């Protein structure tokens, strides 16, 4: 009998290790879903620190790389014990006028809403959706925030089927539209002022006001929003070492967005919270196909200079080329010859044009525009220039020269000691 019992236990052990499902044989990790296999997310949202979370059932992925983790390791109430095994929709609130709500993240499940800050559930939650968002339906498919300037007012888009419920945060009113041309969005994400509807393992980018879709969609999310083997985009661009950086142009627009340009790509430098990412220049400025030589911003417009042409774009939520452009640099700025770099300081009406070892001053309020000063520059080979409240930086290869003000730059006869570009400045690798 004892021999029979031992034999029975041995057979059971072999069955569990060899014949049982892999999830039982190899432990907890084998049961984790793999987003690179092409799954459909339940919800996507960034948190207050800019980390984007992708939700599927009781699991989530933190950021664009890495394996799935149990949701309750980050949001402890998201578990079966609290009957919140998954979420229907999620978004990060944009409400600067109300710091008690701004940057809080909201989860929706059936007819309930949960508000979190710093991954901690707020007192008084969960609530009925109608308590916080009157007029918004239950059992949502997805949600995404839409700040003023991208929508008419600070708003939230709630998706249910093909209906989109636009919720005005200030007036607490809802307008419902039907966007039957969009797929049913099982999750939605706002990233770098663009809006993405996720469906299956694909996504479609859309206009948050009209629902219009421009470009070729759907696209596979694995090529763009997560690090998966055999997937990817961007022409193989990888961040360079800081010692190898060479930028062509840099500017900060009136909205505080800072862009640098290098070859055919550009990168937003003010988006550290939501991640730095390189894009083709034609993504934002489709008419500029071969890189830029110089760039500057002035009165809600951005000026891109390439060869002897100036392209001027209105700096709305998305840049649009002003009718009649490009024009020649001579016609627009009264400057002849190739432009190496350009900058405009905050609250100033003068664009400073760098050509070799000369710096030209052009009054942007004059008609026609013409050079008012032509001064020597104690440097040569400048690639790009930027002026902000901290002063002026002139970039040359992987280094830059800092000046406290335009006056010091104009009066200087000797160049300051160069400083090295760092990862915090350009997103490069130290």
Strand 52-56: give its sheet, edge to edge: 43-46, 52-56, 59-62, 69-70
pLDDT digits (tens, 9 = 90+) for 185-214: 999 999 988 999 999 999 999 999 999 998
Task: Tell me which of 241 and 296 has the higher pLDDT.
Answer: 296
User: How many residues belong to the chain?
Assistant: 430
* Confidence category of residue 28, pLDDT binned at 50, 70, 90: very low
pLDDT digits (tens, 9 = 90+) for 49-91: 889 999 999 999 998 888 999 998 999 887 655 556 689 999 9
CATH topology of domain 242-426: Hemopexin (2.110.10)
CATH topology of domain 18-223: Hemopexin (2.110.10)
3-state secondary structure at position 3: helix
- pLDDT value at position 9? 32
> Would the pLDDT of 6 be above 60?
no
Annotated binding-site residue? 233: yes
**Radius of gyration for the chain, computed over Cα atoms and rounded to the nearest angstrom:** 27
Q: 40 vs 35, 59, 81, 144, 241, CA distance in Å?
A: 8, 12, 24, 17, 36
| Chain center to CA of 349 | 30
- pLDDT value at position 64? 86
> Would the pLDDT of 261 be above 70?
yes
> Residues of the chain with pLDDT > 70: what percent?
89
Residues 6+ apart with CB under 8 A from 219: 202, 203, 204
Alpha helices in 103-177 (DSSP H): 129-132
Tokens coding 386 = 């930027």
Tokens coding 21 = 């499902």
Q: What are phi and psi of 136, to 5 degrees?
A: -90, 135
> Looking at the DSSP assignment, which residues form a beta bridge with residue 107?
90, 114
The model's pTM: 0.73
Q: 185 vs 54, 162, 203, 355, 367, CA distance in Å?
A: 14, 8, 9, 51, 51
Distance CA 47, CA 266 (A): 25
Distance CA 163, CA 184 (A): 9
> Residues of the chain with pLDDT > 90: what percent?
71
> Looking at the DSSP assignment, which residues form a beta bridge with residue 156?
145, 167
Residues 6+ apart with CB under 8 A from 346: 387, 388, 389
Distance CA 286, CA 284 (A): 6
Annotated binding-site residue? 181: no
Following DSSP, what letter does each residue of 269-301 receive, concatenated? SS-GGG---EEEGGGT-TT--S--SEEEEETTE
pLDDT digits (tens, 9 = 90+) for 366-425: 999 999 999 999 999 999 999 999 999 999 999 999 999 988 998 888 889 999 999 888
Tokens coding 230 = 């055999």
Distance CA 42, CA 34 (A): 14
Q: What are phi and psi of 132, to 5 degrees?
A: -95, -30
The reply to whether domains 18-223 and 242-426 share a CATH topology is yes
3-state secondary structure at position 407: helix
Residue holding tokens 């400045």?
Answer: 425
- pLDDT value at position 233? 58
pLDDT digits (tens, 9 = 90+) for 342-371: 999 999 999 999 999 999 999 999 999 999
> Would the pLDDT of 316 be above 80?
no
Distance CA 145, CA 46 (A): 11
3-state secondary structure at position 26: coil
pLDDT digits (tens, 9 = 90+) for 131-141: 999 999 999 99
Strand 399-403: give its sheet, edge to edge: 384-388, 391-396, 399-403, 419-420
> Would the pLDDT of 237 be above 80?
no
CA atoms within 13 A of residue 106's CA, in its CB half-sphere: 25
- pLDDT value at position 192? 84
Q: 171 vs 146, 153, 155, CA distance in Å?
A: 15, 10, 10
Tokens coding 375 = 């001064």
Question: Highest-confidence range of 1-10, 113-122, 275-284, by mean pLDDT?
Answer: 113-122
CA dihedral (109, 135, 165, 275) in degrees, to 10, reads -50
Q: Span 245-260, mean pLDDT?
A: 93
Give the start-to-end residue ranges of the domains of the chain: 18-223, 242-426
pLDDT digits (tens, 9 = 90+) for 100-133: 999 999 999 999 999 999 999 999 999 999 999 9
Assess contact for 64 and 225: CB atoms under 8 A: yes
> Would the pLDDT of 15 be above 80?
no
């Amino acid at each position: 009998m004892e021999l029979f019992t031992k034999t029975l236990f041995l057979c059971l052990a072999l069955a569990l290790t060899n014949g049982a499902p892999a999830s039982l044989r190899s432990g907890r990790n084998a049961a984790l879903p793999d987003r690179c296999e092409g799954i459909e997310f339940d919800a996507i949202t960034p948190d207050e620190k800019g980390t984007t979370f992708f939700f599927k059932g009781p699991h989530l992925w933190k950021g664009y790389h890495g394996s799935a983790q149990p949701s309750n390791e980050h949001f402890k109430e998201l578990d079966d014990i609290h009957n919140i095994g998954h979420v229907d929709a999620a978004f990060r609130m944009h409400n600067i006028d109300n710091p008690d709500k701004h940057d809080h993240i909201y989860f929706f499940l059936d007819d309930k809403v949960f508000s979190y800050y710093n991954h901690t559930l707020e007192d008084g939650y969960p609530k009925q959706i109608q308590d916080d968002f009157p007029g918004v339906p239950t059992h949502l498919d997805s949600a995404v925030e839409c700040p003023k300037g991208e929508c008419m007012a600070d708003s939230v888009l709630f998706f249910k089927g093909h209906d989109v419920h636009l919720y005005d945060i200030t007036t607490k009113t809802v307008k419902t539209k039907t966007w039957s041309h969009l797929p049913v969005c099982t999750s939605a994400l706002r990233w770098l002022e663009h809006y993405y509807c996720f469906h299956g393992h694909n996504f479609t980018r859309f206009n948050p006001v009209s629902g219009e879709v421009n470009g070729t969609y759907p696209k596979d999310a694995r090529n763009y929003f997560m690090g998966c083997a055999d997937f990817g985009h961007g022409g193989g661009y990888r961040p360079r070492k800081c010692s190898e950086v060479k930028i062509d142009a840099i500017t900060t627009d009136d909205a505080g967005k800072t862009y640098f340009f290098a070859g055919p790509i550009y990168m937003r430098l003010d988006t550290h919270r939501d991640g730095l990412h390189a894009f083709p220049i034609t993504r934002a400025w489709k008419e500029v196909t071969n890189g830029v030589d110089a760039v500057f911003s002035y009165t809600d417009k951005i000026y891109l200079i390439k060869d002897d042409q100036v392209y001027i774009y209105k700096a709305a939520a998305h840049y649009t080329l002003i009718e009649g452009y490009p024009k020649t640099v001579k016609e627009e700025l009264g400057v002849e010859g190739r432009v190496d770099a350009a900058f405009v300081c905050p609250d100033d009406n003068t664009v400073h044009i760098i050509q070799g070892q000369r710096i030209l001053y052009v009054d942007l309020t004059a008609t026609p525009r013409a050079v008012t000063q032509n001064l020597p520059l104690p440097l040569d080979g400048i690639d790009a220039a930027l002026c902000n409240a901290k002063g002026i930086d002139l970039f040359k290869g992987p280094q830059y020269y800092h000046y406290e003000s335009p006056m010091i730059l104009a009066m200087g006869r000797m160049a300051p000691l160069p400083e090295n570009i760092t990862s915090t400045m350009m997103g490069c690798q130290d």
